[in-house]
Amino acid sequence: MSESIGNTGRGMKLHTKILLGLLVGLVLGVTANLTAGPGHPTIERINTWLAIPVGQVFLRMLFMVVMPLVFASIALGVANVGDLRKAGRIGGKAIGYFFVTTALATTLGLIVVNVMKPWERVAPETRVELMERFAGDAATRIETSQQNKFGVDTFVNIVPRNPIDAAARTDLLGIIFFALMFGAALTMIPAATAKPMIDFLEALNGVVTAIIHFAMLLAPYGVAALIFTVSSRFGFDLMIAVAAYVVTVLVALAMHVGITLSAIIRFLIRMSPLLFFSRVRAALVTAFSTSSSSATLPTAIDVAQEQLGVPQKIAGFVLPIGSTMC
């Protein structure tokens, strides 16, 4: 990778362009909502024929490369580590880290939400409006979570019957397992036999990275379109009404980043938290605007390698696991 995602080589940094796109989309969306209203035919036409297509094309370009990126990165990571015991230690430490930080984030979130009690600041009529508007989506999420009960089947289903089908269904756990087995198998066959496949995986990784760079050139426009769609449809009055929830989430995130993660960065990585977060801005802005760990994964891997100097075999091995767990 000769050029980082964080630097397009032409003027303004990419993360600055993405942030600018986010602000432009928000301002235009709120303005359209206040002047014409969320259900106005003109706003709906803009969303239907411009904002939604542009936003979805950007998201789909990122999702398009997630599966080949995860497979190539993890398989290469395991193969390049060579020693399966060493790969196991790296994976074990990564999973332990993700479990601990997720538990800390969950605990912190529960404390903040119970202290701030944002639901007490929402008027009864607003609650009714929220229930009417989002009841269908909430019911779908509840039904999906009930179908995916944690148990023995959870561990069995990690092993895909068909890795191609798992990729088609965006089953990250299945692809991760297959990639781990594939990389481990490459270390167990003669080096001369494994080399052509390793060369292919390296080429695939390079091609996917090139596609990511191209997709990220569209990021400022895609982010602006995504934010415009949400802010123009959601309604400014409703956004104000749920501001207490927004503030609660932001406070919890700020505490997690400012205390938990900053302490880990300072004392374990021995790096300035400000320097760290300044280097990963492109990944942070992408995560904030897409609200998807899978969509952010390609950017995160590139930023880890180019901005933080993380070896490809580590970044490609650890980050896909974190994207699935967190």
Tell me what the mean pLDDT of segment 80-103 comes to.
83
Query: Would residue 249 count as lying in a domain?
Result: yes
Query: Would residue 155 count as lying in a domain?
Result: yes
**Alpha helical stretches, state H, the chain:** 14-36, 41-46, 52-81, 84-116, 124-147, 152-156, 163-168, 172-188, 191-217, 219-234, 236-241, 243-255, 262-264, 273-279, 281-290, 293-306, 312-325
Query: Would residue 211 count as lying in a domain?
Result: yes
Tell me what the mean pLDDT of segment 30-52 comes to.
87
Query: Which CATH number does the domain housing residue 228 bear?
Result: 1.10.3860.10
DSSP 261: I
pLDDT over 50 (residue 2): no
Cα angle for residues 160, 61, 17 (degrees, 5° grid): 135
Tell me what the mean pLDDT of segment 220-248 comes to.
81
pLDDT of residue 49: 94
pLDDT over 90 (residue 54): yes
Query: Would residue 34 count as lying in a domain?
Result: yes
- The answer to whether 167 and 178 are in contact (CB under 8 A) is no
pLDDT over 60 (residue 5): no
pLDDT over 80 (residue 44): yes
Cα angle for residues 302, 2, 304 (degrees, 5° grid): 20
pLDDT over 50 (residue 125): yes
Query: Would residue 3 count as lying in a domain?
Result: no
The two structure tokens encoding residue 138:
């909430």
pLDDT of residue 134: 66
Total domains in the chain come to 1
pLDDT of residue 140: 66
Query: Would residue 175 count as lying in a domain?
Result: yes
SS3 124: helix
- The answer to whether 276 and 263 are in contact (CB under 8 A) is no
Give the residue with greater pLDDT, 155 vs 109.
Answer: 109
Give the rounded percent of residues in the chain with a pLDDT score beyond 70. Answer: 86
Query: Would residue 9 count as lying in a domain?
Result: no
Please identify which residue in the block is written with the tokens 């965006």. Answer: 170
Residue span of the structural domain in which 318 resides? 14-325
pLDDT of residue 144: 61
Query: Would residue 321 count as lying in a domain?
Result: yes
